Amino acid sequence: MILLLMLFLVSLLVFLLVILVKRITNKTEKNINKLVVSDNYQTPKRTEIVNSKVSYGILLQFLESLAIVEETTNLDTLMARIEFINKIYPDVIVSSKSMRFNLDIQKAVDEYKTRYYDKILNDIQINLLADPNEVQLKKHFADCICNCYYRYVERQKLEIQKLLRESAIEKRKDDIIKKGYAAKYMFKTYDLQDEGHQETIEDIRKQFYKYQNK
């Protein structure tokens, strides 16, 4: 009788543990989808047994760097962040096949939201993290270079209005022209497809040429 009672209790305990594990798993998957996936995006299935080459800390740095690439007005900062992302992204792509990748994404997103509570991850950032794609990353870099140069020029315009010496004004204009050339050269440096970006940059540069035929 005692033996039967013990077997019954053990069976009941096992049953309760199975239910608990299922609930925890379902809750984790639900949280991942809620945090990472946009309305029109489905998290890819991770079924391959692949050793992850990146930690959630690296994924967090990726999100931080991508945000800076999208927002900075400093071309040197832009280049440094692009080079960092290019360095780690191949490992991110390989690690995305790992079954633990979704959990690493969740940790990275949680930490990002804690550190930068006033920032909202956009669909491009989410997709490039959850479903790594080098082609899409390069397209995004091209857009960001063009946008960075535009923001830089707009900022310089405001500062030029405060300058009184003509020599100082001309120096700022020369800097704008040189930065424009540097921005265009980044397309070659990082092997980016040009879809009218360099033409847009050149049109902005032309506003500051001393002579029309320069």
Give me 151's structure tokens.
């923001």
Neighbour count for residue 89 (Cβ, 10 Å): 17
Let me know whether 138 and 125 are in one domain: no
Residue finishing a domain among 132, 161, 194 = 132
Let me know whether 100 and 85 are in one domain: yes
Q: Which long-range contacts (CB under 8 A, 24 or more apart) does 166-171 make?
A: 170/210
User: How confident is the model at residue 75, as a pLDDT?
Assistant: 96
Backbone angles phi, psi at 131, to 5 degrees: -135, 75
Cα–Cα dist 109/57, whole Å: 10
Let me know whether 212 and 149 are in one domain: yes
Let me know whether 121 and 62 are in one domain: yes
Let me know whether 149 and 92 are in one domain: no
* DSSP letter (8 states) at residue 192: P
Let me know whether 74 and 90 are in one domain: yes
User: How confident is the model at residue 213, as a pLDDT?
Assistant: 45
The closest alpha carbon to 35, from 57, 71, 63, belongs to 63
Residue 37 CB partners (closer than 8 Å, separation 6+): 43, 126, 130
Let me know whether 122 and 179 are in one domain: no
User: How confident is the model at residue 24, as a pLDDT?
Assistant: 43
User: How confident is the model at residue 19, as a pLDDT?
Assistant: 55
User: Mean pLDDT by 10-residue block, N- to C-terminus, for the chain (214 residues)?
Assistant: 56 55 47 46 49 79 97 97 96 88 91 93 94 96 97 95 92 95 96 95 89 45
**pTM recorded for the entire structure:** 0.75
